[in-house]
């Protein structure tokens, strides 16, 4: 039982970024939770603009919040002690234990700060292990990034410090997965290799029997088994860490949606502003039958949009420049004059106002906004982190706030913490569209303003859809991974005597 002695643990590493570490970690968490275990996710260091606020007001990566949901536990800052939020000029804001502590360049961070944080992250992991039966850790990038090994706190340095067994995930859909597994192992030092206990093939299409000769050869070459071949599945995933990976012409999710309830669909255009953050706010719109969500970066692409969403950004002033340079600012002004709906969320809300005074993020001073909302924004060094609740359009709403800018609302009609002026809406609240009744009311208003015969589905429950997604990840592990072997690793650690794969790296 958790609390009597430290719980077991496992580190899920990957051959590359985006190999599927986050998904596999979430899937293992859900599978373990189904077994009645008290389980927690953990990522020592995350780089993401897609973040979340815990109930006690700490900021962590959204991927870890979703993994906590997979584990059926409340997210906490212990699960993501270091969050790096990229900004301009090759710098990132460092969020430590849920609070922003400053800006650092990549050189400054890896030049000494990262190593000093290793003790903090191992203490957080130890605390989670004291209170849980199992902790499933996620690595970052690849453990074989030998240029960063000296300052590593999230991959093999963490595994060494906490004696974690490591499973390496490889994306076979990219090709070269056998070379990636072998090369990843062979570039680790003997001490690091001793913890690498096996491999997981991700996103496989086809007949597994055709893969088996390669898996057998990999086992002979490395002395390590492949612990599962996970098939490619459309529409699987959790909240991504990096919004910039979303295709500007793609849909938010690949999964099929039900037909519309009314005669018309609603078309939603999302502007992929620079340093876009929490773009997952529009996932709840994409989940609605009859709502088509696209990322659009040209004025002409907004012509048939019934709603334009300006999402959050960590660079409000830079986003203003980008909108003006591309002609999108003028397109938004035309929409507002025509009474066609626009929704700004967080940074998107700020740039729709009259002016922005920023001596914190961009240090640009006073910059004219788009002037579509009677709002003036001044950036404060202290970040607002909150989990507000309220009502809008007659319905209950809840969300979360992450912003340095403080808005002075000078007019319009109240809307959550922001305002509405004509067809332009603005709020700092992320996640508000996940409130089902409010989302339906808002879409009915958009349909009325645009003359669309669109009817929201009466039974779309976004939280239930998210649960179904997490269950599918648990199914993926339960049905296609060697769960008995995974459980042995979690409980007993890496087996002794794993062979060294030359040439290795210096200790």
Q: Annotated active-site positions, please?
A: 346, 430
For the chain, the C-alpha Rg in angstroms (whole number) is 24
SS3 243: helix
DSSP 344-365: EETHHHHHTSSEEEESSSS--E
CA 264/CA 258 separation, integer angstroms: 13
Q: Read off the tokens for 138.
A: 């996620």
Backbone phi and psi for residue 381, each to the nearest 5 degrees, phi listed first: -65, -35
DSSP string, 466-494: HHHHHHHHHHHHHHHB-HHHHHHHHHH-S
Could you give the CA distance from residue 410 to residue 428 in angstroms, rounded to a whole number?
16
Residue 209 to residues 179, 204, 213, 215, 265: CA-CA distances in angstroms? 19, 12, 8, 10, 44
> Which residues have CB under 8 Å from 397's CB, separation 6+?
389, 390, 391, 416, 429, 432, 435, 438
Answer whether 241's CB lies under 8 Å from 46's CB.
yes
Q: How far apart are CA 73 and CA 199, in angstroms?
A: 27
Residue holding tokens 């849920």?
98
Element (H, E) at 183: helix 177-186
Q: By the 8 A CB rule, do 29 and 69 touch?
A: no
Report which secondary-structure segment, H or E, holds 229. Answer: strand 226-231
Query: Measured over all CA atoms, what is the biggest interatomic distance in the chain, rounded to whole angstroms?
Result: 72
User: Could you tell me which residues come within 8 angstroms of residue 230 by beta carbon, excluding any fewer than 6 positions away?
Assistant: 20, 24, 200, 201, 202, 203, 204, 476, 477, 480, 481
């Amino acid at each position: 039982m958790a609390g009597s002695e430290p719980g077991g643990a496992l580190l899920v590493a990957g051959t590359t970024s985006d190999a599927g570490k986050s998904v596999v970690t979430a899937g293992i968490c859900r599978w373990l939770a189904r077994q009645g275990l008290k389980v927690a996710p953990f990522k020592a260091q995350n780089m993401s603009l897609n973040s979340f606020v815990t109930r006690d007001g700490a900021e962590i990566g959204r991927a870890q919040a979703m993994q906590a949901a997979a584990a059926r536990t409340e997210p906490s800052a212990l699960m993501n002690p270091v969050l790096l939020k990229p900004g301009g000029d090759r710098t990132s804001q460092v969020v430590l234990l849920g609070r922003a502590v400053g800006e650092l360049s990549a050189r400054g961070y890896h030049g000494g700060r990262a190593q000093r944080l290793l003790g903090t992250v191992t203490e957080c992991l130890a605390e989670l292990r004291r209170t849980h039966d199992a902790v499933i850790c996620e690595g970052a990038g690849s453990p074989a990034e030998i240029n960063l090994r000296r300052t590593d706190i999230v991959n093999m340095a963490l595994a060494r410090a906490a004696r974690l067994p490591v499973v390496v995930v490889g994306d076979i859909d990219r090709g070269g997965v056998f070379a990636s597994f072998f090369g990843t192992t062979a570039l680790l030092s003997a001490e690091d290799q001793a913890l690498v206990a096996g491999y997981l093939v991700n996103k496989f299409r086809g007949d597994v029997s055709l893969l088996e000769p390669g898996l057998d050869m990999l086992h002979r070459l490395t002395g390590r088994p492949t612990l599962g071949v996970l098939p490619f599945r459309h529409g699987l995933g959790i909240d991504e860490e990096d919004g910039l990976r979303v295709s500007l012409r793609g849909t938010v999710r690949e999964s099929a949606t039900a037909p519309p309830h009314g005669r018309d669909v609603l078309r939603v255009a999302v502007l992929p502003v620079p340093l876009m953050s929490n773009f997952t706010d529009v996932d709840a719109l994409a989940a609605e039958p009859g709502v088509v969500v696209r990322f659009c970066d040209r004025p002409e692409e907004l012509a048939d949009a019934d709603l334009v969403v300006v999402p959050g950004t960590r660079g409000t002033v830079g986003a203003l420049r980008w909108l003006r340079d591309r002609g999108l600012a003028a397109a938004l002004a035309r929409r507002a004059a025509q009474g066609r709906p626009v929704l700004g969320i967080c940074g998107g809300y700020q740039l729709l106002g009259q002016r922005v005074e920023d001596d914190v993020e961009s240090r640009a001073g006073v910059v004219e906004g788009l002037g579509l909302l009677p709002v003036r924004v001044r950036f404060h060094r202290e970040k607002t982190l909150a989990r507000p609740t309220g009502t809008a359009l007659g319905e209950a709403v809840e969300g979360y706030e992450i912003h340095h800018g403080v808005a002075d609302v000078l007019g319009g009609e109240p809307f959550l913490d922001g305002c509405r002026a004509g067809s332009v809406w603005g709020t700092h609240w992320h996640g508000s569209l996940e409130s089902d009744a409010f989302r339906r009311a808002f879409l009915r208003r958009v349909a009325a303003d645009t003359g669309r015969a669109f009817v929201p589905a009466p039974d779309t429950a976004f939280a239930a859809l998210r649960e179904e997604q997490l269950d599918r990840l648990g199914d993926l592990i339960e049905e296609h991974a060697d769960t008995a072997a995974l459980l042995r690793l979690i409980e007993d650690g890496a087996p002794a005597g794993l062979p060294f794969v030359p040439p290795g790296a210096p200790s």
